[in-house]
Amino acid sequence: MDIITSNMETASETAPALREMVNSVTNRLQNQNSRQSYRSALEKFLAWYSAAGHAALDAAAVREYLLYLENSGKARGTIATTLSVLRQLFKDLRRLGTINEKTYQDLLEIRFRRPRGQRLHTWLTLAEVQELLQDLPRDRIHDVRDRAILALLAGCGLRRFELCGLRLEQLQEAQGRPVIADIHGKGDRQRTVAVPAWAGKCLEGWLAASTELRPGAFIFFSIRRNGTPGSARITPQGVRDIVARRSRDILGKQVLPHDLRRTYAQLAYKAGADLRQVQLSLGHSSIRTTEIYLGLDQDFANAPGDLLEISLVTHPLQHGARVHLIA
């Protein structure tokens, strides 16, 4: 039966079949983080779809869901990713004969792209980073851990999944200073980043407080309400929740882990760090990616050529010649 074009089945009837498709889509992905992201996006859509009570799953339902996300304040990048995931779901449904070609083509016509040149990113000022770390409470073991997490995200530019995977033996020294070595980033690329002194102090506080750490153990783990260690390392979602909650409580605005990574890049570059060094620290394969990441655009008000102080002796034009500059 065509669960979409028949217009006969209710959302409650189609949802179980769609959940089977979710497993089909996500299980084929090789990258674990991609699997989690895709599954999360699809599950959220299915929850909305079931609650909305649509008689058919079609392009109109997808458009309504995207509008719902936009009205809920979701970032445009998140909405664009959701549309990409739903296209893959519809592609699988078409391949299995569950939907017809027209339904699939209708979905492909949906466009939801981030406007070119629009900056939707957030980063903190140096004063805000200091406020976030300084004003974080110091009463519980959770506070000590969370301060170290915030410090490493803002001070080392780590991605949240990189932070979750940190082990004790990665804390090393290079060129006479503490570093985090063998960080496994995107594309399984490895890098080493220096730990600034202020972030190192926050990390040392956590290492001193977490007596359960042993060689080979993950540095950051879950903590129960009573302050005892949990049974698993902290998850990327757990890191997101920590950063969002702490920033709301202290700064009065929500900041996410990638905003702190972006903060690291912005503050380092504006303080005079070499663009190439910023690229290496972030683990970008291309320096162009770093330029886009930093929002570096051509600045015609301060053009590089203006820095060249060259004095020329000018001569009057001969025979009434005119030079017209292009307006």
Catalytic residue status for 74: no
CATH code where residue 186 lies: 1.10.443.10
130 or 52, which is more confident: 130
Whether 117 is in a domain gets the answer no
Residue 9, pLDDT > 50, answer no
Number of H helices, E strands in the chain: 13, 5
Catalytic residue status for 63: no
Residue 73, pLDDT > 60, answer yes
Catalytic residue of the set 140, 186, 224, 276: 186
Catalytic residue of the set 54, 246, 261, 262: 261
Kindly state whether residues 178 and 281 are assigned to the same domain.
yes
Query: In sequence order, what are the residues at sequence separation of 6 or more whose Cβ sits closer than 8 angstroms to the Cβ of residue 2?
Result: 98, 99, 100
Catalytic residue status for 140: no
Residue 145, pLDDT > 50, answer yes
Catalytic residue of the set 54, 145, 147, 284: 284
Tell me what pLDDT residue 62 has: 86
Kindly state whether residues 178 and 30 are assigned to the same domain.
no
Whether 321 is in a domain gets the answer no
Q: How far is it, in rounded angstroms, from Cα 174 to Cα 182? A: 12
Tell me what pLDDT residue 213 has: 67
How would you classify residue 191: left for phi > 0, otherwise alpha for psi between -120 and 50, otherwise beta?
A: beta
Catalytic residue status for 284: yes
Kindly state whether residues 60 and 190 are assigned to the same domain.
no
Tell me what pLDDT residue 323 has: 43
For residue 49, give both structure tokens.
């779809």
Q: How far is it, in rounded angstroms, from Cα 88 to Cα 112? A: 15
For residue 284, give both structure tokens.
């970008």
| Phi, psi values for residue 293, rounded to 5° | -60, -40
Residue 318, pLDDT > 70, answer no
Residue 316, pLDDT > 60, answer no
The predicted-structure confidence for 101-129, as pLDDT tens digits, reads as follows 888 888 778 876 544 444 345 788 889 99
Residue 287, pLDDT > 60, answer yes
The predicted-structure confidence for 230-258, as pLDDT tens digits, reads as follows 778 899 999 999 999 999 999 888 888 98
Name the percent of the chain lying above pLDDT 70: 74
Confidence bin at 75 (pLDDT 50/70/90): confident
Catalytic residue status for 184: no
Kindly state whether residues 104 and 189 are assigned to the same domain.
no
Structural domain of 66: 11-108
Kindly state whether residues 146 and 266 are assigned to the same domain.
yes
Residue 312, pLDDT > 70, answer no
Confidence bin at 19 (pLDDT 50/70/90): low
| Phi, psi values for residue 23, rounded to 5° | -60, -40
CATH code where residue 30 lies: 1.10.150
Number of domains, the chain? 2
How would you classify residue 147: left for phi > 0, otherwise alpha for psi between -120 and 50, otherwise beta?
A: alpha
Catalytic residue status for 19: no
Sign of CA dihedral 50, 53, 55, 61: negative
Tell me what pLDDT residue 260 has: 93
For residue 190, give both structure tokens.
């490895």
Report the predicted TM-score, pTM, of the whole model to 2 decimal places. 0.58
Which whole-number Å values give the CA distances from 169 to 138, 203, 283, in the listed order?
27, 14, 20
* Report for 31-35, 48-52, 200-204: range of highest mean pLDDT: 200-204
Catalytic residue of the set 54, 159, 246, 262: 159
Q: How far is it, in rounded angstroms, from Cα 42 to Cα 20? A: 11
Whether 315 is in a domain gets the answer no
Tell me what pLDDT residue 246 has: 94
Lowest mean pLDDT among 107-121, 185-199, 220-234: 107-121
Lowest mean pLDDT among 206-215, 234-243, 284-293, 307-316: 307-316
